[in-house]
Chain A
Amino acid sequence: MEGLVYIALFAPLVSSLFAGSFAMTPKKQFVGVISSLLLFSSFAASAILGYHVLTTNEAVHVKLMDWIVAGDLNIPFGFIVDHVSVTMMFVVTLVSTVVHIYSIGYMDHDKSFNRFFSYLSAFVFSMLVLVMSDNFAGLFIGWEGVGVCSWLLIGFWYHKADVTRDINPSISPSWAANEAFIMNRIADLGMLVGLFIIYWNVGSLQYDVVFKEIPNMTQIALTTAAIALFIGAMGKSAQFPLHTWLTDAMEGPTPVSALIHAATMVTAGVFLVIRANPIFSVTPDVSYFIAALGTFVAFFAASMALVNRDLKRIIAFSTLSQLGYMFAAAGLGAYWIALFHLAAHAFFKALLFLGAGNVMHAMHDELDIFKMGGLKKAMRGTYLYMGLASLALAGIPPLAGFFSKDAIIETAFNEGSLILWLMLVTTAGMTAFYSFRQVFLTFHGDERYHDLGIHPHEMYKYVLIAMSPLAILAVIAGFFKDGFNNFIINQLPNYQMSEHTHHLALYLGVLVLIAAIGGIVLAYIKYNKGLVRSEKTENSFIYKLLANQYYIPNLYESVISKPYAELSKLMWKNVDMKIVDATVDSIAKVIYKSGDKSRGMQSGNLSNYLNWMAIGAIVLLVMAIVSLVA
């Protein structure tokens, strides 16, 4: 078993190094193929490990080596494959394998093909370190690795120039990459503080040791640790107010978006909350805050998706919204439901993004859904996939999204938080509306792309075939809900609905379903025939507010970025130039001037040299005498 753990973990690293060694050379098809094969071997190892954990019900714990041993601090490079991490490994490696194969087709014409695969595999490796580590320090390393890789990948097309916010809301790939990285750094500070608090109180960062010590910790320490850890999770999972980077990250190549949203990045925050559930379950106030914030973000993101015109951004907002659902579930104590939704969401969200990538490919990188329409004729396979994924996202039974999302909404009802419940149900309706608005505008109705002179074509066959596992899982994953429940409660607290809720479950489910179908029908009525734009709606205050993301990016820019830039400029001109630089420069100047002055000594005349030598000897003698006397 130990070998399998290492294969699962290090195959992506090998893949990254292998592809990296060709980074500077022109495109080589075999780099993509070998990377995909290595990723597949990682997936296979994860699947076998999953089977092992399922049958034996025992976690596999391996220790690679000692990493930090200093005084009382002992942090090994240890990895644990238990119920939670094996679920994550399965999802991450499966989605990543598909994304790798997909990228062979998608990045076909890119001149940095090899480099792309190197980054992609490194991304997966970081995520695997994050989920497999048996201590918080290893998790943090993976956490940072994911941040770096996302920076590399979002800014993959770094050569594109900056434009204003009106033309492209994310300004440029390198701008978006920096934004993502800096936002995550802010949150990572919170995470680090959380780790320090835990270490300070427990003296160890091993999960098992820390969780065993929880009864002996003070409530204040636990609460601050939970808050700090959640701040870290907020950054990675793009929760309000650190959410703006996620939609801007759409600047990266589409396979990267699929990876970030489905497998390797934003789920890390939810994973952290699930992993540290013993801490969060004894801090009810923090947990309730998490649930409330999650619900708010679910609603808030869905509202922005209602009016967006950018295909990828709509999907990005939907991820944001679904992450809100996951946090709502985790905050309400239903950790296993959060994890289940995470997995189910990963399948259909990856499928959606890859489908969007196909559309983008066909439309020559045009993303405005107002300029598409009627694509279903040209792109049957993609239409089918995106339709399925959208149905799953909207929560239509028997697809995966229905089971997981419905469980979350039921949880909210069960906890008696009716406001949260109502918001989540409303959001479910909105989700259905915006998903199908996007599907209808893209694939149905009049063919608006003719004006642009584009002749859309379907993606390569093998790419479509590679996407099929995701489609199948998006359809059937829901049926494994009870099996998953039996499997995961060996490690996570078993959350069960009360008798009362159980009684009403059917009605609640129907209510959610009505909301979802209502959303779809509304979208059908409005958009199936074709695009009818109304000046009045588009100029209304609410439409503008939503289209501009509540003006939050603008607010950040005018309240934080610009004053900070002004302050930096002021400090640069007054402090840096006049004090710091002046000091350093004057030291250099003194040395330079004295050298220039004493250059005259070098006369080439031996007699002069001897004179200087005698003077030097006398000076040394005098100094020796003075120091002896004194």
Chain B
Amino acid sequence: MIGLNHYLILSGILFTIGLIGVLRRRNLLMLFFSTEIMLNAANVAFAATSNFYHDLSGQMFAFFVVAIAASEVAIGLGLLILVYKKENTLDLDDLASMKG
């Protein structure tokens, strides 16, 4: 039987993967993927707990997150294209221009 804990563990694993991706990856595009994974890890947790408590508001939140993630990706990808056109690379190490 798959219970709440399983879902939460899955969510935790996904979040960790996303976090490691954010921390370790050097490519901006990959950073976006990683944040998407983290957002969806949260979605899984929302949906699972919502089902557990028989309360729909968790799922509503999940929809909101999906909507916001979609708009964020739309803007983010647009910016990425601009950055790529300007700098010809998406590697963070090469983009470091504001060293203090």
Chain A residues at the B interface, C-beta cutoff of 8 Å: 599, 601-607, 610-611, 614
Docked Cα-Cα span, A610 to B26, in Å, equals: 11
Within 8 A of A (CB), among B81-100: 92-93, 95-100
Q: Are B22 and A610 in contact (CB under 8 A)?
A: yes
Contacts A610-B23, A611-B23; is A605 near B100 (CB within 8 Å)? no
8 closest A-B pairs by CB: A602-B100, A604-B99, A604-B96, A604-B98, A605-B96, A607-B92, A606-B92, A611-B23
Q: How far is the CA of A191 from the CA of B95 in the complex (A)?
A: 74
Contacts of A602 in B (CB 8 A): 98-100
- A617 nearest CB neighbor, chain B only: B19
B residues in contact with A605, CB < 8 Å: 92-93, 95-96, 99
The answer to whether A614 touches B23, judged by C-beta atoms less than 8 angstroms apart, is yes
B38: min CB distance to chain A, Å: 11
Taking a contact as CB atoms under 8 Å apart, the answer to whether A606 and B100 are in contact is no
Of all chain A residues, the one with the shortest Cβ separation from B97 is A604
Given contact pairs A602-B99, A605-B96, A606-B96, a sample of 8 additional A-B residue pairs in the complex whose CB atoms are under 8 Å apart: A599-B100, A601-B100, A606-B95, A607-B26, A607-B92, A610-B23, A610-B31, A614-B19
- Whole-angstrom CA separation of A611 from B23 in the bound complex: 6
CA distance A606 to B96 in the complex (A): 7
Q: List 20 A-B contacts (CB under 8 A).
A: A599-B100, A602-B99, A602-B100, A603-B99, A604-B96, A604-B98, A605-B92, A605-B93, A605-B96, A605-B99, A606-B28, A606-B92, A606-B95, A607-B23, A607-B25, A607-B26, A607-B93, A610-B23, A611-B23, A614-B23
A610 vs B25: C-alpha distance in the bound complex, in angstroms? 11
Rounded to whole Å, the gap between the CB of A595 and the closest CB of chain B is 11
How long is the Cα–Cα vector from A567 to B98 in the complex, in angstroms? 55
Write the chain B residue with the least CB distance to A614. Answer: B23
- A-contact 0/1 string along B17-48, CB 8 Å cutoff: 00100110110100100000000000000000
- Please measure, in the bound complex, the distance between the C-alpha atom of A604 and the C-alpha atom of B98, giving whole angstroms: 4
Q: What's the minimum C-beta distance from A377 to chain B, rounded to whole angstroms?
A: 85
Q: Which residues of B contact A611 (CB under 8 A)?
A: 23
Interface footprint category on B? 10 to 19
Our pick among B22, B28, B31, B96 for the contact of A603 (Cβ within 8 Å) is B96
Question: Complex: how many Å from CA A606 to CA B97?
Answer: 10
Give the chain A neighbours of B26 by CB distance below 8 A. 607
Nearest chain-A residue to B91 (Cβ)? Answer: A607
CA distance A298 to B95 in the complex (A): 90
B28 to chain A: which residues have CB within 8 Å?
Answer: 606
Chain B CB within 10 Å, residue with most, of A605, A607, A614: A607
**Complex Cα distance A614/B99, Å?**
20
Set of chain A residues within 8 Å of B22, measured between Cβ atoms? 610, 614
Which residues on the A side are within 8 Å of B96 (C-beta)? 603-606
B49 CB, min distance to chain A CBs, angstroms: 19
Q: Which residues of A contact B98 (CB under 8 A)?
A: 602, 604
Q: Looking at the complex, which one of A604, A607, A610, A614 makes contact with B100 (CB distance below 8 Å)?
A: A604
Residue of B at shortest CB range from A610? B22
List chain B residues, Cβ under 8 A from A607.
23, 25-26, 92-93
**B100 near A603: Cβ-Cβ < 8 Å:** yes
Residues of chain A within 8 A of B95, CB atoms compared: 605-606
Task: Tell me, in angstroms, the Cα distance from A41 to B17 when the chains sit together.
Answer: 91
Q: What is the distance, in angstroms, from A531's C-beta to the closest C-beta of chain B?
A: 82
Max chain A C-beta neighbours (<10 A), residue from B26, B92, B97: B92
Inter-chain contacts of A604 with B (CB < 8 A):
96-100
Q: How far is the CB of A599 from chain B (nearest CB, A)?
A: 6
* Residue on B nearest A601 in the bound complex, by CB: B100
In angstroms, Cα B7 to Cα A184, docked, is 84
Chain B nearest CB, measured from A115 CB (Å) = 52
Measured in the bound complex, the distance between the Cα atoms of B28 and A607 in whole Å is: 9
A603 CB to closest chain B CB (Å) equals: 6
The chain B residue with its CB closest to the CB of A607 is B92
Complex: chain A residue closest to B99, CB-CB: A604
Chain B, range 60-100, C-beta contacts under 8 Å to A: 92-93, 95-100
For B19, the chain A residues whose CB sits under 8 A away are 614
Shortest beta-carbon distance from A612 to chain B in Å? 10
Of all chain A residues, the one with the shortest Cβ separation from B24 is A607
Cβ distance A246 to chain B, nearest Cβ, rounded Å = 65
How far apart sit A599 and B100, CA to CA, in the bound complex (Å)?
A: 7
A129 to B100, CA, bound (A): 62
- Bound state CA distance, A603 and B95, in angstroms? 11
Residue of A nearest to B20 (CB): A614
A606 / chain B contacts, CB cutoff of 8 Å:
28, 92, 95-96
Closest to A615 in B: B23
Which of chain B's residues has its CB closest to A599's CB? B100
Across the interface, name the chain B residue whose C-beta is closest to A611: B23
Query: Closest residue to A618 on the B side, CB-wise?
Result: B19
CA distance A614 to B25 in the complex (A): 14
Rounded to whole angstroms, the CA-CA distance of A614 and B97 in the bound complex is 22
Taking CB atoms, residues of chain B closer than 8 Å to A603 are 96, 99-100
Query: How far is A147 from B10 in the complex, measured between Cα atoms in Å?
Result: 83
What chain A residues lie within 8 Å of B23 (beta carbons)?
607, 610-611, 614
Interface centre among A601, A610, A614 (most CB of B within 10 A): A610
- Report B12 CB to chain A, min CB distance, Å: 13
Q: Which residues of the partner chain A approach B25 to less than 8 Å between Cβ atoms? A: 607
A599 contacts across to B, CB distance below 8 A: 100
Q: Which residue of A lies closest to B26 (CB)?
A: A607
CB distance from B64 to the nearest CB of A (A): 22
Which residues does chain B contribute within 8 Å of A610, judged by CB atoms?
Answer: 22-23, 31
How many angstroms from the CA of A599 to the CA of B99 in the assembled complex?
10
Bound CA span A97–B93, Å: 83
Q: Name the residue on A nearest B100 (C-beta).
A: A602
Shortest beta-carbon distance from A106 to chain B in Å: 66
Q: Give Cα A342 to B99, complex, Å.
A: 79
Q: How far is the CB of B72 from chain A (nearest CB, A)?
A: 16
Closest residue of chain B to A605 (Cβ to Cβ) is: B96
Q: How far is the CB of A611 from chain B (nearest CB, A)?
A: 5
Q: How far is the CA of A604 from the CA of B92 in the complex (A)?
A: 9
Of B19, B31, B96, most buried by chain A (CB within 10 Å of CB) is: B96
